Structure 1
Amino acid sequence: MATHEHEITGPVDLCLPDGRLNRAAVGWSRVPLHRANLRGWGRTKRWEYWCVTTPTHLVALTVSDLDFLALNTVYLLEYPPGGRESEHTSIVPGARGVRLPDTVAGSPGTEDVVVGPARPSGGKVRIEIRDEASGTRLRARCLTPDRLPLEVDLLVARPEGHESLSVVVPWSDRRFQYTSKHTALPATGQVRIGTEVLEFGGADEPAWAVLDHGRGRWPRTVDWNWGAACGRTDGHTLGLQFGGRWTAGTGSTENGLCVDGRLTKIGEELDWRWSATDRSAPWTIRTPVSDQVDLTFTPFHNRSTRTDAGLIANRTDQSFGHYDGRVRTDDGTEIAVRHLLGWAEDVHMRW
């Protein structure tokens, strides 16, 4: 079932010279083609969010520039029961020292992204996103609450021909978002906590990386759902990328499937069902018109974040768990989804 949305096949600027949305940029692409030449201050938001998962643990890194401040985060989760959870966020007034490129950080030809001191103390974090010949290098450093050094060193591969989902979501000529979502990217490396080492990647326990790259000019208040998952299922390497609420009424969605490196773009808004009072309850995510997506997501852990820093207030419930059900590609291939590791989140943001 082909999407109704316009596919972009060549490079394009996100904005006109006066900072308004370039309507020629509205659409989606299989590789990042937009240059986010944003102008203006106050409503501009830029971020890179990477999450790398294994069957037993995960790490997520965020570098963000929200104009009036930056929120840079290192998050580690060893899955329950008994696993540790560690989150470290550095709030940077005025987003001083945070510079994010107009294109995907860590891709060929971009400048390195480096935030935080080389040897962070207290609540500070160091995060690096660098382009290397073999992929994107992710490094991070901070101190745990008991003052153990936590160090991340991961390499995310860029398989030749692997497709991603980039899309422009237009609320208006003054409010719009460009997002580039990359799923099912193989990753290798280590996370070290004191003298303990957590391995990422290997023949028996592969690691998978997801990127959420965002550039845009946002309304003051917004709500969204986001879900993603990666892994091997039914003989395929599958990446799920789903969004909800924030795109409604814009004519664009951020929904797609990456199957063996090939993207299927889904133009339907999804039907999300979840419990806001029981975060352990299963979710359902379905396409209401077609039968392309019919999934149940069962959480095993909820990451609850509450931020109130004056100009910014954030309520995030990011549940990690497994997807089961089925999906169907553009060419009619039906894939059984069995115990695919990922997450689904419910977010309210005032920024």
Structure 2
Amino acid sequence: MTNTKLIDAKGHISPGVLHQPVDEINYLDYDLRTVMDRPRSKLARRWRFNQFQFVSATGPGWVFGLAMVDLKLLGNGFFYLYDFASGQMLEHSFMSPLGRGTRIEPYPEHGSAAFIKGDVSMRILPFAGGRSISVSAPGGIRVELRLTEDNDPLRLVCPAGYNGWVFTRKSAGLSVEGEIRWGHRIWRCDEASHGAIDWSCGFMRRETAWNWASLAGQLTDGRSIGLNLAAGVNETGMTENALWLGGQCQKLGAARFHFDRYHPGGDWHVTTEDGRVDLHFEPAAARKEKLNAGILASNFRQYVGTFNGTLTDEEGKKVAVQGLKGLVEDHFARW
């Protein structure tokens, strides 16, 4: 069986939506150069390459999120759970200088990821058709989730800045099973629980800013639904915008986000230029983080809340979105 690599023998990418799996992100083979066309060293390629994974799960009345980020100079891991009934946001975030204890294997289909610091362990492990998520942390925190039916992801590689690129593999609307224990409390998945996986990497723009929206749930007719929308990244003639209905991926047009950044409790209006998305998002809680370390910086706001509105499938049929839980994000990064 052929091992499919992202970078070709000439050190180049082939931009666009990829219809076949990519087994290996062989980023060290990329012909990375300075803006004045000087070839970069292997060491520079290694240190300029960024990776991150984000996984979310929506259960009966709650949303869980987990991220692992490898920026070489810094590793970052966080996880949170928001309970809509109590209005409580439970969260933990960890930093690791020089990425110690952070490992994301460059294999989108079968690679594992881990963030370990002290008594905290976060892992994402692949299996055929999905990912298993485990977290162990002090305070009686134990997370064991399995996201399944990951059979039709969106894979995209596109240019970034003058000489870089970004690869992403995304899935939404996946079935989820398992439970989350946080101290004496337990949150369990049910048959309507669904989740999303975001696997991204690349030689990204030195400064990047984006808005993002994600939902994963179940429609009243029993079909699973997933949505991924982004603006400000991965849109040099291509987008990572997609709708999953019943597990099948449908591409969407460019996304537009209308919100007031400095009044964070307000409504978000999210649309696409092809008219297939018209959603309003009402935030319930936020996970925020600001880091300004000179070389590295991040102004991160991820909101948990509720989507209402309409989507339109490829056949032109309207799909009502009523009270589905999900996420939106407003993020500036320097890396």
Tell me the TM-score normalised to structure 2 length. 0.86
CA distance in 1, matches of 2:293, 2:197: 26
What amino acid is the match of 1:15? I
How much is the aligned-residue C-alpha RMSD, in angstroms?
Answer: 2.3
2:82 is aligned, of 77, 100, 103, to 77
Alpha-carbon shift at residue 27 of structure 1 (Å): 1.2
The correspondence of residues 230-309 of structure 1 with structure 2, limited to 5 A, is 230-235=216-221, 236-248=223-235, 250-266=236-252, 268-288=253-273, 290-309=274-293
Alpha-carbon shift at residue 231 of structure 1 (Å): 1.4
Percent identity between matched residues is 24
SS of alignment partner, residue 42 of structure 1: helix
1:48 and 2:33 matched: no
Give deviations 1:234-276, integer Å, cap 9, x for gaps.
Answer: 523211110102234x11101111011111112x322211111
1:93 and 2:97 matched: yes
SS of alignment partner, residue 14 of structure 1: coil
1:68 and 2:52 matched: no
Q: Which residue in the other structure is 1:165 paired with?
A: 154
CA distance in 1, matches of 2:89, 2:246: 32
CA distance in 1, matches of 2:283, 2:24: 36
Q: Which residue in the other structure is 1:180 paired with?
A: 169
Contact 1:43 1:220 survives alignment (8 Å)? no
SS of alignment partner, residue 154 of structure 1: strand
- Summarize the Cα distance change of 1:11–1:342 in structure 2 as closer, same or farther, 3 Å threshold: farther
CA distance in 2, matches of 1:190, 1:93: 31
CA distance in 2, matches of 1:302, 1:96: 27
- Summarize the Cα distance change of 1:273–1:126 in structure 2 as closer, same or farther, 3 Å threshold: same
SS of alignment partner, residue 41 of structure 1: helix
- Summarize the Cα distance change of 1:198–1:93 in structure 2 as closer, same or farther, 3 Å threshold: same
- Summarize the Cα distance change of 1:275–1:73 in structure 2 as closer, same or farther, 3 Å threshold: same
CA distance in 2, matches of 1:68, 1:217: 14
Contact 1:88 1:142 survives alignment (8 Å)? no
What amino acid is the match of 2:113? V
CA distance in 1, matches of 2:12, 2:115: 29
Alpha-carbon shift at residue 329 of structure 1 (Å): 2.0
Q: Judge which range, 49-58 or 176-185, deviates more.
A: 49-58
Q: Which residue in the other structure is 2:301 paired with?
A: 317
What amino acid is the match of 2:255? L
CA distance in 2, matches of 1:209, 1:320: 14
Alpha-carbon shift at residue 31 of structure 1 (Å): 6.2
1:14 is aligned, of 6, 26, 34, to 6
Q: Which residue in the other structure is 2:328 paired with?
A: 344
**Count of residues paired in the alignment:** 317
Q: Which residue in the other structure is 1:4 paired with?
A: none
Q: Which residue in the other structure is 1:202 paired with?
A: 190
Q: Which residue in the other structure is 1:154 paired with?
A: 145
Tell me the TM-score normalised to structure 1 length. 0.83
CA distance in 2, matches of 1:32, 1:224: 26
Contact 1:306 1:313 survives alignment (8 Å)? yes
1:192 and 2:178 matched: no
Alpha-carbon shift at residue 184 of structure 1 (Å): 0.7
SS of alignment partner, residue 102 of structure 2: coil
Give deviations 1:131-177, integer Å, cap 9, x for gaps.
Answer: 3467422111123xxxx221111111236xx3121111212573110
CA distance in 2, matches of 1:234, 1:301: 25
- Summarize the Cα distance change of 1:337–1:195 in structure 2 as closer, same or farther, 3 Å threshold: closer
What amino acid is the match of 2:126? D
Contact 1:153 1:189 survives alignment (8 Å)? yes
CA distance in 2, matches of 1:72, 1:45: 14
Alpha-carbon shift at residue 64 of structure 1 (Å): 1.8
CA distance in 1, matches of 2:64, 2:255: 27
What amino acid is the match of 2:283? P
CA distance in 2, matches of 1:31, 1:186: 22
